């Protein structure tokens, strides 16, 4: 059986509860005003600091925002008192920190609870800002996803045109998609900012170079590539590596290829050039290396067109060369090598 407390104990308990509730309310960022039926302020708590006015927290009639906003809110409050139906609206005001948005919820209060109406004020500026950022990110994700799907579609089309059998198509297509996946991982890990050339090359080489004691390194400028350049240069490297691993220097177990990146000029603007030079063993001819897996279409057309650059693939005697020019809009040089 519960025993009723003394009046002073009840009063003290109620006071502590009110204090604790006010402390909890401050954590939420929500304020309120309780007004009588004639809109006189009866109680308030935790109103936004930026709404404080000199010498007083707010006028006696509960106006906070000034001008047309308060006129509109007063009309809504009178409508709530008359219809006994809650309404929700928003108010935007300019502050020293920029545009601030408040959600205003006006609800009727039962006579048993004091009557009048309760106005709940919530600063939703941060929430709206996050929503705008999220929408922007979703639009960007949609755009990039469509681009990625277009690349995959192009890969499938080019692979099908060159395939001699279904098994051959599946093997080549899977390899190219895996290569695209390696590049996409780098782009995703960087929050869609792209990837460094050296890291991109290393990721592509790791699947095919059989001798870890003699890794192939890219020399010269470690340019930071755009997401678009990362995906397409990754594809170009994949084609070169697959050919070498199947019929070239890598397949023969010799480290006779070099990959170098250096600055150049393209269309009277700064650019970089990626140069792949592969020296073939005497047992391998360029015609053999070229006819089996070297996807000229990808290297000479798809990749340079996608990045707005140019490419040149040549075979001369005992070597294969591939030169890809990347325009300045598709990369940046973050760290230069000291000369």
pLDDT in tens, the chain (339 residues): 444 445 454 456 666 666 777 777 777 778 888 999 988 888 888 877 656 554 445 556 667 787 888 889 999 999 999 999 999 999 988 877 778 899 999 999 998 888 899 999 988 888 888 888 888 878 877 877 787 788 888 788 877 877 778 887 888 888 888 888 999 999 988 888 899 999 999 889 887 765 555 557 789 999 999 999 999 999 999 989 888 887 777 777 767 889 999 999 999 999 999 999 988 877 666 555 454 454 788 899 889 999 999 999 988 778 889 999 999 999 999 865 544
> How would you classify residue 279: left for phi > 0, otherwise alpha for psi between -120 and 50, otherwise beta?
beta
> What integer pLDDT is reported at residue 87 of this predicted model?
94
* Cα dihedral across residues 300, 301, 302, 303: positive or negative: positive
Q: Return the pLDDT at 336.
A: 55
Beta strand pairing call for 98-108 and 87-95: antiparallel
Q: What is the enclosing helix (H) or strand (E) of 231?
A: helix 227-247
Domain limits of the chain?
A: 7-123, 129-332
Copy the structure tokens of residue 207: 């699947």
The whole model's pTM is what?
A: 0.65
Q: Which CATH architecture fits 7-123?
A: 2-Layer Sandwich (3.30)
Asked whether 167 and 203 are in contact (CB, 8 A), the reply is: no
Please state, in angstroms and as integers, the Cα–Cα distance from residue 210 to each residue in 58, 207, 236, 237, 254, following that order. 77, 8, 20, 16, 10
- Cβ partners under 8 Å of residue 71, min gap 6: none
Quote the pLDDT of residue 61.
64
CA separation for the pair 21, 15 (Å, rounded) = 10
- Cβ(51)–Cβ(137) under 8 Å? no
Name residue, tokens 């709404």.
51
pLDDT of res. 55: 42
pLDDT value at residue 209: 64
Note the pLDDT of residue 85: 94
* Residue 113, pLDDT score: 80
DSSP state of 50: G
Give 34's DSSP letter: E
Q: How does DSSP classify residue 338? A: P
Q: 303, 236 in Cβ contact below 8 A?
A: yes
């Amino acid at each position: 059986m519960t025993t009723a407390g003394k009046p002073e104990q009840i009063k003290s308990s109620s006071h502590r509860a009110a204090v604790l509730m006010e402390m909890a309310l401050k954590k939420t960022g929500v304020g309120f005003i309780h007004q009588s039926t004639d809109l006189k302020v009866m109680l308030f708590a935790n109103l936004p600091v930026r709404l404080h006015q000199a010498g007083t927290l707010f006028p006696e009639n509960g106006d906070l925002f000034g001008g047309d906003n308060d006129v509109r809110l007063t009309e809504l409050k009178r409508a709530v008192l008359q219809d006994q139906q809650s309404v929700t609206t928003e108010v935007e005001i300019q502050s020293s920190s920029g545009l601030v948005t408040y959600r205003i919820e006006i609800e009727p209060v039962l006579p048993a609870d004091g009557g009048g109406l309760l106005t709940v004020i919530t600063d939703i500026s941060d929430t709206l800002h996050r929503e705008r950022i999220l929408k922007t990110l979703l639009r960007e994700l949609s755009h990039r996803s469509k681009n990625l799907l277009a690349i995959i579609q192009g890969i499938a089309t080019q692979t099908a045109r060159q395939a001699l059998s279904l098994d051959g198509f599946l093997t080549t297509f899977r390899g190219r998609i895996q290569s695209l996946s390696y590049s996409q991982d780098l782009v995703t890990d960087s929050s869609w900012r792209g990837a460094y050339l050296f890291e991109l090359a290393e990721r592509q080489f790791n699947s095919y170079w059989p001798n870890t004691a003699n890794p192939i390194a890219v020399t010269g400028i470690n340019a930071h590539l755009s997401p678009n350049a990362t995906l397409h240069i990754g594809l170009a490297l994949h084609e070169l590596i697959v050919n070498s691993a199947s019929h070239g220097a890598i397949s023969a177990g010799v480290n006779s290829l070099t990959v170098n990146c250096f600055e150049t000029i393209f269309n009277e603007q700064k650019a970089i050039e990626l140069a792949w030079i592969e020296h073939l063993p005497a047992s391998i001819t360029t015609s053999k290396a070229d006819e089996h897996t070297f996807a000229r279409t990808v290297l000479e057309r798809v990749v340079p067109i996608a990045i707005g650059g140019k490419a040149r693939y040549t075979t001369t005697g005992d070597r294969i060369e591939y030169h890809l020019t990347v325009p300045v809009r598709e990369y940046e040089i973050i760290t230069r090598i000291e000369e």
